[in-house]
């Protein structure tokens, strides 16, 4: 996840409940406003983290010191920048972001911000919630609180679907945009947010968001754990249909006609097995991206696909005489990415990563996309899954045991944590081989 504080809000003495003016720092997560907090609230947050997690807090960016006089505009902006760096440092540590205190603090912060923004508007204590599947089938969840967190909504949805406990860790909730009758992924839901409040905020901004229940893993071998159970097979079939529809125009193949026949015959299992042979099965596809061509160094438009433990950049063909949709492809394996960072400026949003081009040669690669925070989330969840699989292989622990806190799988980080980098240096994850032949 990517925390930022792009701006502040000044509250005058007249608007303040205690008749004192103060500044609110507007905290955004993955580019969306989550809450607005005073410096004193963030300082209390830091103090409690220091008390609860003294070892994890050793390498955190220093919290900006308290000052006893009124701050100038320049000093307020300096504090904003320091607070942003502090929060970005905190969310790089899994021991902190997976704690109940972290979740409770930012869930309550979202709730308080929401309540402060209410103007002559009331909300019922209980609501009915609509969850979508990827085929736009609706699941109605009844009698939820406005302030229920993601975990409660997920459990209610899983219960409605009658999903057995052993399969819960393979699924999660995501925000999608419903546009032109097409669902496009935005981000996973985080454990520290109220889905209802986040959805309300998006609707106020005229963003047609909805919440989708879908699989959350990258390792396609997990399909075989789900395919023989009727309910999980149906969910997997819906996901397969969606993946095929997303990629059909990008990748010509003879299997589409066969898939139509299987669909008409209600041969769902066979449909899933055949769709797995499609090039972009299990991939997230992001349009309107660009990258500097590694050969020509020209900034080129591309379609970014994310899956199979890689980022695949398909350079769009702009030669009208050439009928091929793509001129070339660049594959970036996650095990060759040493670290990455999300950059948000007024000019553009991008994700940059240090990549092993060839043996002993690392190069920074930059992909320009408005969904840079989502790409970061995907990279981190791939890393988490690879590391979890290594633990499973060596100690026979099931993935459901490793996923008691589902946020560890679905919540991404801006950069890898120190513990992840230690694993890289020990050659457990980072591949220090000869690099990719096709680069």
Mean pLDDT, 10 residues at a time, the chain of 439 residues: 91 59 92 93 97 94 89 92 96 92 96 81 83 96 91 96 95 94 93 93 85 96 95 97 91 88 95 95 94 82 95 84 76 94 85 92 94 94 89 51 37 38 43 50
- Specify the residue for token string 């395919």: 227
- pTM here is 0.84
Q: Which of 342, 355, 353 is nearest to 430 (CA)?
A: 355
Tokens of 421: 């980098």
Per CATH, domain 3-117 is 1.20.1050.10: no
CA distance 356 to 332: 9
435 strand-pairing partners: 358
> SS3 for the chain, per residue?
CCEEEEEEEEECCCCCCCCCCEEEEEEEECCEEEEEECHHHHHHHHHHHHHHCCCHHHHCCCCCCCCCCCCCHHHHHHHHHHHHHHHHHHCCCHHHHCCHHHHHHHHHHHHHHHHHHCCCCCCCCEEEEEEECCCCCEEEEEEEECCCCHHHHHHHHHHHHCCCHHHHHHEEEEEEEEECCEEEEEEECCCCCCHHHHHHHHHHCCCCEEEEEEECCCCHHHHHHHCCCHHHHHHHHHHHHHHHHHHCCCCCCCHHHHHHHHHHCCCHHHHHHHHCCCCCCCCEEEEEEEEECCCCCCEEEEEEEEECCEEEEEEECCCCCCCCCEEEEEEEEHHHEEEEEEEECCCCEEEEEEEEEECCEEEEEEEECCCHHHHHHHHHHHHHHHHHHHHHHHHCCCHHHHCCCCHHHHCCCCCCCHHHHHHHHCCCCCCCCCECCCC
CA distance 336 to 277: 25
- In angstroms and rounded to an integer, the radius of gyration of the C-alpha atoms of the chain is 23
How many residues would you count in the chain? 439
- pLDDT at residue number 369: 95
Q: Are 332 and 355 in contact (CB under 8 A)?
A: yes
126-281: CATH, from 3.40.50.1220, 3.90.480.20, 3.10.20.90, 3.20.10.10: 3.10.20.90
CA distance 50 to 52: 6
- pLDDT at residue number 325: 76
- pLDDT at residue number 254: 86
320 strand-pairing partners: none
Q: Where in the chain are the domains?
A: 3-117, 126-281, 284-383
- pLDDT at residue number 8: 94
Q: Which CATH class is domain 284-383?
A: mainly beta
């Amino acid at each position: 996840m990517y925390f930022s504080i792009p701006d502040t809000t000044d509250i005058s003495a007249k608007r303040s409940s205690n008749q004192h003016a103060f500044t609110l720092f507007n905290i955004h997560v993955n580019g969306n406003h989550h809450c607005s907090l005073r410096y004193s609230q963030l300082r209390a947050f830091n103090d409690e983290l220091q008390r609860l997690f003294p070892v994890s807090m050793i390498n955190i960016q220093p919290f900006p010191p308290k000052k006893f006089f009124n701050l100038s505009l320049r000093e307020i902006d300096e504090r904003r920048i320091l607070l942003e760096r502090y929060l970005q440092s905190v969310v790089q540590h899994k021991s902190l972001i997976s704690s109940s205190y972290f979740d409770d603090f930012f869930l309550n912060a979202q709730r308080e911000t929401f309540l402060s923004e209410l103007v002559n508007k009331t909300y019922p204590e209980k609501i009915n919630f609509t969850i979508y599947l990827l085929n736009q089938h609706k699941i109605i969840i009844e009698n939820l609180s406005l302030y229920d967190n993601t975990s409660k909504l997920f459990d209610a949805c899983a219960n409605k679907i009658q999903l057995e406990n052993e399969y819960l860790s393979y699924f999660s909730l995501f925000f999608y945009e419903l546009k032109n009758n097409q669902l496009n992924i935005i981000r996973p839901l985080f454990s520290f947010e109220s889905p209802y409040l986040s959805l309300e905020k998006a609707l106020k901004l005229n963003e047609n968001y909805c919440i989708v229940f879908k699989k959350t893993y990258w390792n396609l071998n997990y399909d075989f754990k789900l395919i023989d159970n009727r309910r999980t097979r149906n969910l997997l079939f819906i996901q397969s249909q969606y993946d095929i529809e997303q990629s059909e125009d990008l990748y010509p193949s003879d299997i589409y006609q066969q898939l139509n026949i299987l669909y008409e015959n209600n041969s769902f299992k066979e449909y899933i097995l055949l769709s797995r042979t499609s090039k972009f099965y299990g991939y997230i596809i992001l349009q309107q991206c660009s990258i500097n061509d590694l050969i020509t160094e020209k900034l080129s438009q591309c379609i970014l696909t994310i899956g199979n433990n890689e980022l695949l950049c398909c350079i769009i063909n702009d030669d009208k005489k050439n009928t091929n949709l793509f001129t070339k492809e660049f594959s970036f394996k996650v095990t060759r990415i040493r670290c990455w960072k999300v950059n948000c400026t007024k000019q553009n949003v991008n994700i940059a990563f240090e990549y092993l081009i060839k043996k002993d040669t690392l190069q920074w690669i930059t992909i320009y996309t408005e969904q840079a925070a989502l790409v970061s989330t995907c990279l981190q969840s791939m890393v988490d899954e690879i590391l979890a699989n290594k633990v499973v292989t060596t100690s026979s622990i099931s993935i459901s045991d490793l996923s008691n806190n589902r946020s560890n799988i679905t919540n991404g980080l801006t950069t890898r944590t120190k513990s992840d980098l230690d694993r890289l240096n020990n050659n457990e994850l980072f591949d220090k081989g000869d690099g990719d032949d096709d680069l």
